[in-house]
Amino acid sequence: MTAWVKGQAADADAAITAAADLLRGARAPVIAGLGAEVAALRAAFRLARALGASLDPAASPGLYADLGALAAGGAMTTTPAEAVGRADLVLVLGDGAAGAPILADLAASGPTRGRAAGAPRTLLSLASGQGADYAAGEAGLPAAIGLLRAHAAGRMAGDGPLADLAARLRAALYAVLLYDPAETGALGAEMLNGLARDLNETTRAFALPLSDPHQGRAIAQVAAWTTAQGPRVGFGRGFPEHDPWRFDAARQAAAGEADAALWLASLPCPRPAWLRALPGVALLGAAQGEPVTGGEADVVIAVGVPGESLGGALWHPRRAAIAWHPAAKPGALPSAAAVLGALHARLTPAQGQPVQERSASC
Amino acid sequence: MSVLTLRHAPPERLDLSGITPDRLAGLSEAEAARLPVGTSRLGLVLGDCFSLALDGGEELRLAGGSDRLDRVGEALAGGTITVEGDVGQRLGAGMRAGTIRVSGSAGPFAGTGAKGGLIAIAGDAGASAGGAVHGAMGGLDGATLVIGGRAGDRLGDRMRGGLIVAERAGDLAGARMVAGTLVAGTIGDHPGYGMRRGTVLVERHGALLPTFVETGTQDLVFLRLLAKALDALALDAVTLDPRFAALARAPLARRAGDLATLGKGELFTPLG
């Protein structure tokens, strides 16, 4: 194991002991980042329960934009594979979605299955950036989505550019609305799913949210099967409480509520500024070109990178599912799950009382 | 009047959802002091943070406030809670009747899901005052919420009924409104985003959405009733400026929206 305590190289046992000491006395520790494989995420939820900690993924802003829309009004979504196989019209909404890797595949192929099979495929864009087919306008993307929806549903008349785009969506056999929830926000994502719903009165149309690069979609699934709730959960009272506002780690740090942090990032994950202001433990994957130096937190433990130095279950954006990623080049560093397990064992006595759990709403 | 005196700044967020006059009525001070209010594994109880003086009556005063006092007056079914200071999130959440007065400011989601009664905040309110929490079907749902200072963004987000009066508010006031009435002085950009029904009446606003359309000037009975309701409220809530009732009686331009959704909402602003 490669580990550091206060910037000094330390052996594994000393680092685990220092990490346990740092977290043991905390009133409101946060476990954040969570850019990691499923085994590590599961270990993080178990540790949070033992510590009375709260969890907040780095992926939260985009993830909660979609979860908020889903919880408020439902979603009509499709998968990347279905979009490639069936879509005759793809509308790319926003600047964030314009660089999506799936666009190359969509541009290079046409629909081969379903009601649009054999038809040509059209790719259109609605964004603020130069070169967009339709301009989002000064009011911004969420307002443009609303205007597009008003035209698509026939509630607004007129012959502006978005009326033309709405007519093309209505005429499509299988339209796909590709977007980045972090850019549309929760209200924009809800409006976009409403647009898909309105279009389905007469044809087929589906939303396709881009998945974030920090395992947000996998975390949402692990959180759902572990606590039946979203990932911003706190175990302070011994049972999982879901509260996206209260357990926002950045807010907790700014308000002086959080008093210790454990940053979990076996995959590359940008570290927020607030992390350095708290006593902290960091489990970091030593990725290519981004070595772990030991100065990132009070206690730093280098861990294996899933899909590179060890195998792990990760979000697969093209399959839109959690999938096994074998080790490309097996390495010697321990898995984050193993480190969290050792930390958990150090923090909890073997004869601990079972946790009494009861239901809690958001 | 029962008095809870905050002895020191809370070391963590406190959940005061069970601390209402009717819940305290049957308890001795020693029993009430043992009510759990902590949100960490340390298990704080009421007596750890407050000195208690209970008389079993319908009035409860919190002497001293903090933005860490969450869910003050949640599910209140009657009586009065007065807070001398600030409160945290979800003030009066789901309350059904009674009165809550806060001399300071409130955190986010004040009055969420409140079905009846009056909430009066003398200072500012955080985001989504009278708005819905994550996944909830609605925000304010029949109660009256008066904000003397500035409300944050998304004032009245997805509110289902009742009346909000705020001096100022941020962007997206009345977003996703299902029903109810929102009256304010100056509000920010894009009021009524995704609004289905309901009424927004403001003195000034920022940028409007392209999906709100002018429908002319109309002499509506509703506005006269609203003016009377605001007159009556001004007697009740000390923080309410009488000019809001005058605003409802002024000549008003009406816009309908949000045509992105159902489009049965309305936005009134002074003519000219």
Residue B37 near residue B46 (C-beta atoms within 8 A)? yes
**Amino acid, res. B153:** D
Token readout for A346 is 């150090």
Residues of A with CB under 8 A from a CB of B: 27-28, 51-52, 64, 67-68, 71-72, 137, 139, 142-143, 145-147, 149-150, 155-156, 187, 190-191, 194, 230, 234-238, 242-246, 255, 257, 362
Whole-number pLDDT of residue A361: 45
Q: Is the dihedral of CA A240, A243, A246, A247 positive or negative?
A: positive
Residue B234 confidence class, pLDDT cut points 50, 70, 90? confident
Residue A130: how many other CB atoms lie within 10 Å: 7
Q: Is the pLDDT of residue B37 over 60?
A: yes
Whole-number pLDDT of residue A350: 58
Q: Is the pLDDT of residue B139 over 70?
A: yes
Whole-number pLDDT of residue B203: 97
> Which B-chain residues 223-252 have CB contacts (< 8 A) with chain A?
none
What distance in Å separates the CA atoms of residue A15 and residue A341, rounded to the nearest whole number?
14
Q: Which residue of B has its CA nearest to A259?
A: B12
Q: Is the pLDDT of residue B235 over 80?
A: no
**Nearest alpha carbon to residue B117 among B105, B139, B128, B101:** B101
Residue B103: how many other CB atoms lie within 10 Å: 18
**Nearest alpha carbon to residue A63 among A186, A216, A196:** A216
- Nearest Cα of chain B lies from the Cα of A287 at a distance, in angstroms, of 35
Give ipTM to 2 decimals.
Answer: 0.95
Contact A245 B209 (CB under 8 A): no
- Nearest Cα of chain B lies from the Cα of A51 at a distance, in angstroms, of 8
Contact B134 A71 (CB under 8 A): yes
What distance in Å separates the CA atoms of residue A31 and residue A264, rounded to the nearest whole number?
7
Helices (H), A228-323: 249-254
Give B172-225 pLDDT, tens digit per residue: 999 999 999 999 999 999 999 999 999 999 999 999 999 999 998 888 999 999
Note whether B258 contacts A: Cβ–Cβ < 8 A. Answer: yes
Whole-number pLDDT of residue A362: 44
Contact B193 A187 (CB under 8 A): yes
Whole-number pLDDT of residue A358: 53
Torsion angle of the four alpha carbons B30, B34, B37, B39, in this order, in degrees rounded to the nearest 10: 150
- Nearest Cα of chain A lies from the Cα of B231 at a distance, in angstroms, of 34
Contact A156 B193 (CB under 8 A): no
Whole-number pLDDT of residue A130: 78
Of the candidates A52, A146, A243, the beta carbon closest to that of B193 is on A146
Q: Is the pLDDT of residue B229 over 90?
A: yes
Question: What length does chain A have?
Answer: 362
Phi and psi at residue A324, to the nearest 5°: -75, 130
Q: Is the dihedral of CA B23, B28, B29, B33 positive or negative?
A: negative
Token readout for A48 is 């949070």
Q: Do you find a cis peptide bond into B258, omega within 30 degrees of 0?
A: yes
| Cβ-Cβ contacts under 8 Å for A163 (sequence gap 6 or more) | A151, A156, A157
The DSSP line for A60-102 is: HHHHHHHHHHHHHH---B--HHHHHHH-SEEEEESSGGGG-TH
Torsion angle of the four alpha carbons A119, A92, A129, B258, in this order, in degrees rounded to the nearest 10: 120
What distance in Å separates the CA atoms of residue B83 and residue B62, rounded to the nearest whole number?
5
Give B52-62 pLDDT, tens digit per residue: 999 999 999 99
Percentage of chain B modeled with pLDDT above 70: 99
**Nearest alpha carbon to residue B82 among B67, B103, B55, B53:** B103
Residue B151 confidence class, pLDDT cut points 50, 70, 90? very high
Contact B260 A191 (CB under 8 A): yes
Whole-number pLDDT of residue A287: 73
Question: Which of residues A159 and B156 earns the better pLDDT score?
Answer: B156
Residue A46: HSE in the Cβ half-sphere, 13 Å Cα cutoff: 18
pLDDT along chain A (362 residues), means of 10: 90 95 95 97 97 97 95 94 97 93 95 96 91 91 97 92 96 97 96 97 96 94 96 96 97 97 95 94 84 91 95 94 95 95 88 51 44
Contact A155 B213 (CB under 8 A): no
- What beta strand segments (E) does chain A contain? 3-5, 8-10, 29-35, 54-57, 89-93, 122-127, 134-135, 174-179, 204-209, 233-234, 241-242, 260-265, 280-285, 299-303, 312-316, 321-325
- What SS3 class is residue A34? strand
Residue B272: how many other CB atoms lie within 10 Å: 6
Residue with tokens 């392209």: B210
| Cβ-Cβ contacts under 8 Å for B29 (sequence gap 6 or more) | B52, B53, B54
Residue B171 near residue B131 (C-beta atoms within 8 A)? no
- Nearest Cα of chain B lies from the Cα of A310 at a distance, in angstroms, of 35
